[in-house]
């Protein structure tokens, strides 16, 4: 499944403070970069009385806003859902969402709050010979679910809707000059610590690293891994012909590797090295290499084509690195975070802190790069590192080049309603 942060501003204050302190003390030399900014010459200070160093006031850090799980969902009415009504000009064909909902139920039926709704879905499926019409699906959800509007922390009910897809890459099981770029499986020394096991308030928080001596240290970053003498050599699963495709596969999380003999291998996300994702698109915008209008997947690929010698340095600015696993053949789609195969144009990735994983959601947005309405009943079966917030979703477009073009162009505003079983209980 794309503002300098407070720590950088704080570092700048420290640098300026260091320069002022150095000017006040003849025994210390201010760094050249700082002394140029504060315009002082420390060698001349010895003739002057020593002044008390200027210390900037300590800025209190704002308290972290604690929000209960699903705490940004607000009760709504069914007639508020934009596009669900059969009379709406852009009404969705809900029948097309039904198979994706049945996929959700294979995982959710084991949870008490979802069991009745999933049992009712299976009953409807039997009554309609596995093919309920749109009106029956609509009636089913209204009978068994309540509807909630998603909001952001600031109370806004609109947010960013992006897209992702399953790329098809050319590859080989054997490394060669034609196929030099490996996909790696999860290394055995990668340790994941779920922090809520120690601190319940840190639910959804985890750290990853490796053990050195008796300490957990950060795992190898991208620059360290993608070298000829990689520290995880031996974990190669398959080799790809294009490093740009490898990079975008890591962003999408799953893909299909096409071999020269016609065979295909489906690969999916297995784990990640624990380093934060740093958007290369945003970095290119900050450097003036691209504008926000053309910092899409296609725009970035075009930039790489014109600047091949700069690409490695650009990649290394994103320390995050994804490991993969082979998926079984014959799946209808890649495996999402819910643990079930996800279906094209009926699944979104969400932030699981604000939307329960597996829940039906109704999305009201527009098609990529135009104002044509896109109103769909979707299933929240996936997550993503960049998908954070209450009104935030990543639309799964499917596999291949056409899906990739839509996913790469999608950066729309939208609204989301979440459907939860009437037995659903919110925890404080």
Residues 34, 428: Cα–Cα separation, whole Å: 49
28 and 113 fall within a common domain = no
Mean pLDDT, the chain, integer:
85
Q: Based on the structure, what is the number of domains in the chain? A: 2
Half-sphere exposure of 57 (CA within 13 A, CB side): 3
Q: Considering the domain boundaries, does residue 154 fall inside one?
A: yes
Rounded mean pLDDT, 50-68: 54
Query: CA dist 51 to 26, 47, 58, 156, Å?
Result: 11, 12, 20, 51
CB 173 within 8 A of CB 238: yes
Contact yes or no for 208/191 (Cβ under 8 A): yes
Q: Is 232 exposed, middle or buried (0-12, 13-18, 19+ CB in 10 A)?
A: buried
Residue 82 counted as domain residue: yes
Q: Do 28 and 119 share a structural domain? A: no
Instruction: Determine the average pLDDT of the residues in 135-154.
Output: 97
pLDDT the model gives residue 88:
77
For 241-266, write each residue's pLDDT tens digit.
Answer: 999 999 999 988 899 999 999 999 99
Domain for residue 221, yes or no? Answer: no
Between residues 18 and 339, the one the model is more confident about: 339
**pLDDT digit string (tens) for 344-385?**
999 999 999 999 999 999 999 999 988 999 999 999 999 988
Q: What pLDDT is attached to residue 67?
A: 83
Tell whether 359 and 242 lie within a shared domain: yes
Residue 106 and residue 33 share a domain: no
Q: Are residues 119 and 152 in the same domain?
A: yes
The predicted structure's pLDDT at residue 64: 56
Greater confidence (86 vs 188) lies with: 188
Does the pTM of the predicted model rise above 0.85? no
* Same-domain check for residues 36 and 159: no
Q: For residue 281, give the DSSP letter.
A: H
- pLDDT value at residue 365: 97
At 15, the pLDDT band (50, 70, 90 cuts) reads: very low
Residues 249 and 353 in one domain: yes
Residue 231 lies in a domain: no
- 50, 106, 108, 171 from 101: Cα distances, Å: 74, 9, 10, 34
> Residue 334 has which token pair?
């890649």
> Quick one: pLDDT at residue 170?
97
What are 264's strand-pairing partners?
A: 258
Q: Which contacts of 259-266 are long-range, i.e. CB under 8 A and separated by 24 or more positions?
A: 259/171, 259/172, 259/173, 260/170, 260/172, 264/329, 265/171, 265/238, 265/326, 266/326, 266/327, 266/328, 266/329, 266/331, 266/334
Q: How confident is the model at residue 19 (pLDDT cuts 50, 70, 90)?
A: very low
158 is written with which tokens? Answer: 């609109």
* Mean pLDDT along residues 188-204: 83
Say if residues 374 and 367 touch (Cβ distance below 8 Å): yes
Stretch 310-338: mean pLDDT: 93
Domain, as residue range, for 243: 68-187+236-278+318-428
- Asked if the model's pLDDT at residue 17 lies above 50, the reply is no
> What does the alpha-carbon distance between residue 8 and residue 321 come to, in Å, rounded to a whole number?
24
Q: Would the CA dihedral through 78, 83, 87, 93 be positive or negative?
A: negative
Instruction: Let me know how long the chain is.
Output: 428
Same domain, 103 and 28: no
Q: Answer whether residue 44 shows pLDDT above 50.
A: no
Does 22 have pLDDT greater than 80? no
Over 60: is that where the pLDDT of 338 sits?
yes
Structure tokens at 108: 């959710």
38 and 112 fall within a common domain:
no
Six token digits for residue 112: 């008490």
Do 80 and 156 have their domain in common? yes
Give a yes or no: residue 225 inside a domain.
Answer: no
Residue 286 lies in a domain: no
Looking at the structure, do residues 257 and 346 belong to the same domain, yes or no?
Answer: yes
What pLDDT is attached to residue 273?
Answer: 96
What is the reported pLDDT for 65?
A: 66
The residue-averaged pLDDT of 31-42 equals 34
* Domain identity same for 368 and 400: yes
206 belongs to a structural domain: no
Q: Please tell me the predicted confidence (pLDDT) of residue 115.
A: 97
Question: Would you say residue 31 has pLDDT above 70?
Answer: no
Q: Would residue 390 count as lying in a domain?
A: yes
Query: Which helix (H) or strand (E) element contains residue 397?
Result: strand 392-399
Supply the CATH number for residue 426's domain: 2.40.40.10
How far is 121 from 164, CA to CA, in rounded Å?
28
Mean pLDDT of 337-347: 96
Determine what percent of the chain is predicted with pLDDT higher than 90: 71
């Amino acid at each position: 499944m794309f503002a300098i942060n407070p720590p950088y501003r704080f570092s700048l204050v420290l640098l300026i403070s260091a320069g002022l302190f150095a000017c006040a003390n003849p025994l210390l030399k201010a760094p050249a970069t700082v002394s140029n900014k504060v315009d002082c010459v420390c060698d001349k200070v010895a003739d002057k009385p020593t002044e008390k160093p200027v210390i900037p006031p300590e800025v209190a850090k704002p308290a972290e806003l604690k929000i209960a799980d699903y705490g940004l969902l607000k009760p709504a009415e069914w007639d508020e859902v934009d596009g669900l009504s059969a009379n709406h000009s852009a009404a969705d064909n809900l029948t097309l969402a039904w198979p994706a909902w049945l996929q959700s139920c294979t995982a959710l039926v084991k949870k008490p709050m979802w069991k009745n709704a999933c049992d009712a879905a299976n009953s409807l499926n039997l009554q309609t010979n596995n093919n309920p019409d749109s009106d029956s699906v609509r009636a089913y959800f209204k009978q068994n679910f309540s509807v909630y509007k998603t909001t952001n922390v600031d109370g806004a009910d609109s947010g960013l809707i992006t897209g992702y897809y399953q790329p098809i890459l050319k590859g080989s099981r054997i490394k060669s000059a034609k196929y030099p770029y490996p996909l790696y499986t999860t290394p055995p020394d990668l340790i994941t610590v779920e922090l809520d096991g120690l601190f319940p308030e840190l639910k959804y928080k985890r750290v990853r690293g490796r053990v050195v001596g008796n300490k957990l240290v950060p795992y190898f970053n991208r620059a360290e891994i993608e070298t000829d003498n990689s520290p995880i050599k031996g974990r190669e699963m398959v080799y790809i012909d294009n490093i740009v495709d490898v990079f975008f596969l890591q962003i999408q999380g799953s893909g299909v590797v096409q071999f020269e003999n016609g065979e295909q291998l489906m690969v999916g996300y297995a784990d990640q090295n624990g380093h934060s994702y740093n958007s290369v698109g945003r970095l290119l915008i900050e450097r003036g290499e691209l504008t926000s209008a053309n910092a899409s997947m296609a725009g970035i690929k075009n930039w790489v084509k014109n600047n091949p010698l700069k690409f490695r340095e650009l990649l290394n600015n994103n320390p995050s690195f994804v490991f993969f696993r082979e998926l079984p053949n014959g799946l209808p789609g890649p495996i999402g975070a819910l643990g079930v195969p996800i279906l094209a144009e009926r699944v979104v990735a969400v932030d699981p802190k604000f939307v329960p994983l597996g829940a039906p959601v109704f999305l009201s947005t527009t098609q990529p790069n135009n104002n044509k309405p896109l109103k769909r009943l979707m299933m929240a079966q996936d997550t993503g590192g960049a998908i954070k917030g209450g009104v935030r979703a990543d639309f799964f477009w499917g596999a291949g080049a056409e899906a990739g073009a839509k996913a790469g162009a999608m950066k729309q505003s939208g609204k989301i309603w979440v459907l939860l079983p009437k037995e659903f209980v919110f925890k404080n």
